[in-house]
Chains A and B, each alone.
Chain A
Amino acid sequence: EIVLTQSPGTLSLSPGERATLSCRASQSVSSSDLAWYQHKPGQAPRLLIYGASSRATGIPDRFSGSGSGTDFTLTISRLEPEDFAVYYCQQFGSSRLTFGGGTKVEIK
Chain B
Amino acid sequence: EVQLVQYGAEVKKPGESLKISCKGSGYSFTNYWIGWVRQMPGKGLECMGIIYPGDSDTIYSPSFQGQVTMSADKSINTAYLQWSSLKASDTAMYYCARLRSGSLDSWGQGALVTVSS
- Which A residues are closer than 8 A to B by beta carbons? 1, 30, 32-35, 37, 39, 44-47, 50-51, 56, 86, 88, 90-92, 95-102
Contact A95 B104 (CB under 8 A): no
Which residues does chain A contribute within 8 Å of B62, judged by CB atoms?
A: 1
Checking A1, A33, A44, A88 against B102 with a beta-carbon cut-off of 8 angstroms, the contacting residue is A33
Contact B45 A35 (CB under 8 A): no
Contact A35 B104 (CB under 8 A): yes
12 contacts between A and B (CB under 8 A): A32-B101, A35-B102, A35-B104, A45-B37, A45-B97, A46-B107, A47-B105, A50-B105, A90-B45, A92-B99, A97-B99, A97-B104
| Chain A: minimal CB distance from B33 (Å) | 9
* A contacts with B: majority SS: strand
B24 at the interface (CB under 8 A from A): no
B53 at the interface (CB under 8 A from A): no
Which residues does chain B contribute within 8 Å of A100, judged by CB atoms?
A: 44
Contact A95 B101 (CB under 8 A): no
Checking B47, B59, B61, B108 against A44 with a beta-carbon cut-off of 8 angstroms, the contacting residue is B108
Checking B46, B99, B101, B108 against A99 with a beta-carbon cut-off of 8 angstroms, the contacting residue is B46
Smallest Cβ-Cβ distance to A44: which chain B residue? B107
Q: Tell me the chain B residues, 67-117 only, with Cβ under 8 Å from chain A.
A: 95, 97, 99, 101-105, 107-110
Contact A50 B47 (CB under 8 A): no
Beyond A44-B97, A44-B107, A45-B95, list 11 extra A-B contacts (CB 8 Å).
A1-B61, A1-B62, A30-B102, A45-B107, A47-B103, A47-B104, A51-B101, A51-B103, A92-B103, A96-B61, A102-B45
Which residues does chain A contribute within 8 Å of B44, judged by CB atoms?
A: 86, 88, 99-102
Contact A51 B47 (CB under 8 A): no
| Chain A: minimal CB distance from B6 (Å) | 9
| Chain A: minimal CB distance from B3 (Å) | 12
Q: Tell me the chain B residues, 24-72 only, with Cβ under 8 Å from chain A.
A: 35, 37, 44-47, 50, 59, 61-62
Contact A44 B45 (CB under 8 A): no
Smallest Cβ-Cβ distance to B105: which chain A residue? A47
